Structure formats: C-alpha cells, structure tokens
Amino acid sequence: MTDVIQHKAYARIGLLGNPSDVYYGNTISISITNFWASVKLEPSEHLIVKPHHFHDLVEFDSLNHLVNRLETEGFYGGVRLLMAICKIFYKYCKNNLIDLHERNFTLSYDTNIPRQTGLSGSSAIVCAALNCMLDFYKIRHLVRVEERPNLILDAEKELGIVAGLQDRVAQVYGGVVFMDFGKTHMEKLGHGIYSPMDISLLPPLYLIYAENPSDSGKVHSTVRKRWLDGDDFIRSTMKEVANLAVEGRQVLLQKDYAKLASLMNHNFDLRSMFGDDALGEMNLKMVEIAREVGAASKFTGSGGAVVAFCPAGPLQVELLQEACEKAGFIIQPVQVASSFLNDMDLGNSSST
C-alpha cells in the first residue's frame, strides 16, 4: 500500500512587473509562507474528491445562513479545482505517452489563504494537488518543472478563471523568481524563462490586506481587449511595467533598496491605465495608507492585498502598523518561502 502523500503550496506576492505576465512581459514574484493550501492524497478503492468541511459547505442552518455564506465566501470551494487538475493531469500524461498505474486515491484539501486578496489561493490548491499526483504516480522526473505552471493554469482555465503564469511559477518554484515571458520563447517553448534568485536579497516586506475584501478581482477591466486591439498607450505602458522587473532584478542584486522602493511605487502608479473604478476603493486606500507614512506599496496581484516596504526602517514600520490598524486593515511581516525544487526537479529543468 502506497503511503499517504501530502503537499503544501503557498500564497504568492507579485513584487515587480505584474500584471505584464499576460502581455509577454517580465515579473519578479515571491512565494510566502504566511498562507498556504495543503492537499492530501490517500490510496483508496475508488477515486474520491472530498469536499472541505468549511469551503465546500452544502448544509446550512437557514436560508439566511446560506445567503450570507454565499455573499462572504462565494459559490465555489476547492472541489472543482481538484477535479480540474485531475482532468488536465490525465490528458497531459496521455498526450505525452506517460503510463499511469491504475490504483485509485482520495484527494482532500485545506487552505488558509484569504479569499479575494490577490494572493493566488486557487492556484495554490491546484499546485499542491499536482505535486501529490506526480509523487503518487512516480512521474516527477517525466514532467519538466517549466511545464508544471502551465498544467496548473490549464486546470484553472477549465473553470473559466482568467489569469497568467506568474502565480503558478512562483508556487511551483518557491522562493524569489525572475520571470521572462517574452513572446519569442513563449511561442517557441510554450512557457517563459524562469530564474530563481537568492531570497537573502530581499529587504523586510509587509503584507497588508482587508479581512473582508468587497471590491477586488475587477482590476483587468478593458485593458486586455485594448492591448489585443493594439492600443498604443496600453502597449507602451505595459512594456514600461515589464521593464520595472528587469531593472528590479539588478536593483535587488545590488541591494539598492531606495531604488527598489521607487520601482514598487512606479509599478502601482502605472496601474492608472486600469482606472480607479476597476482598481477598487478599498485597494486604493491600502496603498494610500502606506504612502502616507512614506512606505513604498503596490498590489500583490490583481487587488485585495498590498505589499509594502519601509525604506526608513523600524520607526516607519511602527507608523505603518499603527495606520493600518486604525484603518481596520491587517498587516503582517512577509515570510519568504525557500525554493521548493529538489534534485530531481532541478535535474529535469531546461534552465539548469
């Protein structure tokens, strides 16, 4: 009997360059251990996907309870994510002539990644499940590291989730990763060029988010369509966003943290192309609070949470903490994850 397999995948922060990952750009992203999703795979007679006792709730005390629940937690839990990655995984293996044994399993999950915070909660569940199946079928050496983020994204696309590769790369690789999504290699290879960086290059960062976000997830607005239509302003602005990550890579290597603060602020300022209505009042407030005490700040993703850096040091951090608490926002020191890649993963990576 195969042992129980369990994997975690962590929330991620887009430090620089987002959202250019879906526009052939560049990003620097960080996997953080503040929040995680965990998936457990247990051998079983039948293939079972277990609902979560909280996130997939189907029994309620009353109609009022059901409605309140839907308004705060939405309609969907993680079961659909697990089923989607099972489908994508199976089809990938079949298309690539990878033989799978016929033993069955039960998948279950847990997560503490806050909803609607732009911290990649959905993809974390999918990533953890993919890792479980790679180990259960003993085919980790047959699925290249660079291809795994694509499988995660394909599973989410099955469910109509609109996203880019950045989050999934960060969750597969761990640590800090510079990502180049240039059109040439995206079209030739089907994925970007991913370069892990030393996590010790990062200064102390802080995560700010609202416990009950109400207006996140609307950020992409009409920008995608305008970019596809060749809008000069959108295309040039998105290229400028992408270049911030390229410059930021060198800035981190030099530990020029004053310049890093400037790049973070500029990254957010360029989001003006989306318009304030799309960005959301609560999201803008989090950024403003950080800036009022002189901290650099930007969205971690598409909205719902902010990453902040206090270049002036501990006293500035105290001011930021006080301001966040006064406004009702939660603030935490960012805990950066180490790289997740083992020797087998590194051995089958084309980047090594």
What is d(CA 85, CA 80) in angstroms, rounded to the nearest whole number?
9
Phi, psi of 180 (to 5 degrees): -115, 110
- Report the relative pairing of strands 5-16 and 206-209 from DSSP bridges: unpaired
Looking at residue 317, its pLDDT comes to 98
| Residues noted as catalytic | 167
The angle subtended at Cα 133 by Cα 132 and Cα 134, nearest 5°, is 95
- The string over 201-226, giving b where at least 16 C-beta atoms fall within 10 Å of a residue's C-beta and e elsewhere, is ebeebbbbbbeebebbbebbeebeeb
Q: Provide the strand spans (E) within the chain.
A: 5-16, 26-44, 48-49, 104-111, 176-180, 193-197, 206-209, 296-299, 305-309, 330-333
What is d(CA 91, CA 209) in angstroms, rounded to the nearest whole number?
37
DSSP 109-128: EEE-PPTTSSS-HHHHHHHH
Tens digits of pLDDT across the chain (352 residues):
458 999 999 999 999 999 999 999 999 999 999 999 999 999 999 999 999 888 877 888 999 988 888 877 777 788 999 999 999 999 999 999 999 999 999 999 999 998 878 888 899 999 999 999 999 999 999 999 999 999 999 999 998 887 889 999 999 999 999 999 999 999 999 999 999 999 999 999 999 998 776 544 454 568 888 888 898 989 999 999 999 999 999 999 999 999 999 999 999 999 878 776 677 888 899 999 999 999 999 999 878 899 999 999 999 999 999 999 999 999 999 999 998 887 767 666 665 4
What is d(CA 102, CA 46) in angstroms, rounded to the nearest whole number?
11
What is d(CA 220, CA 214) in angstroms, rounded to the nearest whole number?
16
Joined together, the tokens standing for residue 258 give 């004053």
